[in-house]
Amino acid sequence: MRYSGLKVITEGLFGNKGWKPAWRDPAPKAEYDAVIIGGGGHGLSTAYYLAKNHGITNVAVLEKGYLGGGNVGRNTTIVRANYFLPGNSEFYSHSLKLWEGLEADLNYNVMHSQRGLINLFHSDGQRDAFARRGNAMINQGDDAILLDREGVREHLPYLDFEQTRFPIYGGLLHPRGGSARHDAVAWGYARGADRRGVDLIQNCEVTGIDIENGVVKGVQTTRGAIRAKKVGIVVAGRSSQVAAMAGMRLPIESHVLQAFVTEGLKPVIDHVVSFGMGHFYISQSDKGGLVFGGDLDFYASYAARGNLPMVEHVMEAGMTLMPMIGRAKVLRSWGGIMDMSPDGSPVIDKTHVEGLFLDCGWNYGGFKAVPASGWCMAHLMATGESHEVARKFRLDRFATGHLLDEEGTGSQHNLH
């Protein structure tokens, strides 16, 4: 079924009785050409692009829970391409271009809003660093505008410009940055993959990976064994656990990242805003809620919930930046399990097992990378070669020392 404005009006006039399920609920087959472990944004986009770009449709996505129930639905929905280092810059630039055509491609409203992203800076040193980053973004073909204090005030008049502890010197505006509806992204890719023949199998947990003579043969699941010529591990914060089934020990730690949303308010925040002197970022959803987050909880965990000290830290940062936020009531919070790599950059690569592929280590960058991650992972699985924008996301860089440390914080997982 193709969605359109006319279809919405027609269904409204006749009791909404003509809608069909967005995707099938098939039983798993005994064998597939490719199996994707993980039914989140990255796994679903990988399956979609395998079918769309490479004509590989005998594909199954195996999800232990329900589609989109993991990190793709547990984030602050920010989309941006303001990276600095070669390797990251071209990848996220490619991802943003895919975002800009995604709704037309999927025939699905993912509520992509290019409202602009402003990173604030609070010192001369930060200004210089953001000027350099902005120039790198422009050289990559993306957009960046360096704002002085009054330029920021023109865009964000509600900030506290009188504070002396963290004075606002200016900001870097990324006009094409913005946000999207996280659930809709998962649903759009699921529907698109299903329409191209991919089997989306929910409530099907992978319990083992079958390997013979160094070649992957399939997976064991709670719904039986499934043979496959190729297997992709795309499970975010569970990457280390699933990779261990293939005898791998990944350089990945799993940490909790909390996010929060307030009651619905009248429109007040037009952009995505990032605080330069505290890890705090905020935007306003289409329903009016203020969506914001901060740092990791700084201890390794697989729990999709956080602790109260970090809640306090995030609220303090918000109050420092915009005291008005103290009048809003927080409705709910949640935690995503972040797959943190030592250098803060991801992995899209083959493994030592023939036919077994890995997509992990997304740190804070997972949601914005959903389209390009799937595009590049599908290319790798279909051709056996890394896509040109993901060639630096090799697993062996942690052995060779060719790291992509975007923030320059060193090889400590929870600092990225």
Segment 87-93 shows an average pLDDT of 97
Segment 97-108 shows an average pLDDT of 97
Task: Please check whether residue 397 is in contact with residue 98, taking contact to mean a CB–CB distance below 8 angstroms.
Answer: no
Segment 106-121 shows an average pLDDT of 97
> What per-residue confidence (pLDDT) applies to 416?
75
> What per-residue confidence (pLDDT) applies to 298?
87
pLDDT in tens, 306-324: 899 999 999 999 999 999 9
Binned at pLDDT 50, 70 and 90, residue 106 comes out as very high
Give the max Cα distance, the chain: 67
Binned at pLDDT 50, 70 and 90, residue 59 comes out as very high
In this predicted structure, the answer to whether residue 214 has a pLDDT above a threshold of 90 is yes
> What per-residue confidence (pLDDT) applies to 110?
97
Output the pTM of the full model.
0.96
User: What fold characterizes domain 5-78+182-251+343-415?
Assistant: FAD/NAD(P)-binding domain (3.50.50)
Please report which residue ranges of 55-123 form alpha helices under DSSP H: 89-100, 102-106
- Residue 51 to residue 197: CA distance in whole angstroms: 8
In this predicted structure, the answer to whether residue 412 has a pLDDT above a threshold of 90 is no
- Residue 62 to residue 40: CA distance in whole angstroms: 10
Segment 238-242 shows an average pLDDT of 97
> What per-residue confidence (pLDDT) applies to 207?
98
Angle (CA) 219-208-334 rounded to 5° is: 105
Task: Please check whether residue 42 is in contact with residue 193, taking contact to mean a CB–CB distance below 8 angstroms.
Answer: no
> What per-residue confidence (pLDDT) applies to 150?
98
Task: Please check whether residue 53 is in contact with residue 378, taking contact to mean a CB–CB distance below 8 angstroms.
Answer: yes
Question: Which of 65-74, 169-178, 226-235 is predicted with the least confidence, judged by mean pLDDT?
Answer: 65-74
User: What fold characterizes domain 113-176+253-340?
Assistant: D-Amino Acid Oxidase; Chain A, domain 2 (3.30.9)
Q: What is the DSSP letter of 45?
A: H
- Tell me the C-alpha to C-alpha distance, in Å, between residue 144 and each of 148, 172, 271, 305, 415: 13, 7, 14, 35, 26
> What per-residue confidence (pLDDT) applies to 200?
98
> What per-residue confidence (pLDDT) applies to 354?
98
Give the contacts of 350 (CB within 8 A, at least 6 positions apart): 356, 357, 358, 380, 384
Task: Please check whether residue 15 is in contact with residue 212, taking contact to mean a CB–CB distance below 8 angstroms.
Answer: no
User: Where in the chain do CATH 3.50.50.60 domains reside?
Assistant: 5-78+182-251+343-415
Exposure b/e, 67-99, CB count within 10 A at least 16 = b: bbbbbbbbbbbbbbbbbbbebbbbbbbbbbbbb
Give the contacts of 154 (CB within 8 A, at least 6 positions apart): none
- Tell me the C-alpha to C-alpha distance, in Å, between residue 261 and each of 109, 292, 330: 22, 6, 6
> What per-residue confidence (pLDDT) applies to 2?
83
pLDDT in tens, 279-298: 899 999 999 999 999 999 98
Give the contacts of 187 (CB within 8 A, at least 6 positions apart): 22, 67, 68, 108
> What per-residue confidence (pLDDT) applies to 163?
87
Looking up tokens 């007040």 gives 268
- Tell me the C-alpha to C-alpha distance, in Å, between residue 58 and each of 10, 198, 353: 35, 6, 21
Sign for the CA dihedral angle at 113, 115, 121, 124 comes to positive
Segment 256-274 shows an average pLDDT of 96
> What per-residue confidence (pLDDT) applies to 353?
98
Task: Please check whether residue 381 is in contact with residue 216, taking contact to mean a CB–CB distance below 8 angstroms.
Answer: no
In this predicted structure, the answer to whether residue 27 has a pLDDT above a threshold of 90 is yes
In this predicted structure, the answer to whether residue 88 has a pLDDT above a threshold of 80 is yes
In this predicted structure, the answer to whether residue 386 has a pLDDT above a threshold of 90 is yes
Task: Provide the residue type at 246 as one letter.
Answer: A
In this predicted structure, the answer to whether residue 275 has a pLDDT above a threshold of 80 is yes
- Tell me the C-alpha to C-alpha distance, in Å, between residue 84 and each of 89, 134, 292, 366: 6, 8, 24, 17
> What per-residue confidence (pLDDT) applies to 1?
73
Length of the chain: 416
Measured from the Cβ of residue 178, the count of other Cβ atoms closer than 10 Å reads: 23
Displacement of CA 33 from its chain's centroid (Å):
26
User: Where in the chain do CATH 3.30.9.10 domains reside?
Assistant: 113-176+253-340
Binned at pLDDT 50, 70 and 90, residue 330 comes out as very high
- Residue 314 to residue 402: CA distance in whole angstroms: 33
Binned at pLDDT 50, 70 and 90, residue 137 comes out as very high
* Mean pLDDT score of the chain: 95
Segment 172-187 shows an average pLDDT of 97
> What per-residue confidence (pLDDT) applies to 279?
85
In this predicted structure, the answer to whether residue 332 has a pLDDT above a threshold of 80 is yes
Segment 160-171 shows an average pLDDT of 93
Per DSSP, the chain holds a count of helices (H) and strands (E) of 11, 18
Coil, strand or helix: which one is 166? coil
> What per-residue confidence (pLDDT) applies to 407?
81
Task: Please check whether residue 326 is in contact with residue 319, taking contact to mean a CB–CB distance below 8 angstroms.
Answer: yes
Question: Of 129, 169, 125, 135, whose CA–CA distance to 150 is shortest?
Answer: 169
For residue 165, report the phi and psi dihedrals to the nearest 5 degrees.
Answer: -70, -45
> What per-residue confidence (pLDDT) applies to 133?
97
Segment 325-339 shows an average pLDDT of 94
> What per-residue confidence (pLDDT) applies to 302?
92
Binned at pLDDT 50, 70 and 90, residue 149 comes out as very high
> What per-residue confidence (pLDDT) applies to 273?
98
- Residue 176 to residue 289: CA distance in whole angstroms: 22
Segment 211-226 shows an average pLDDT of 98
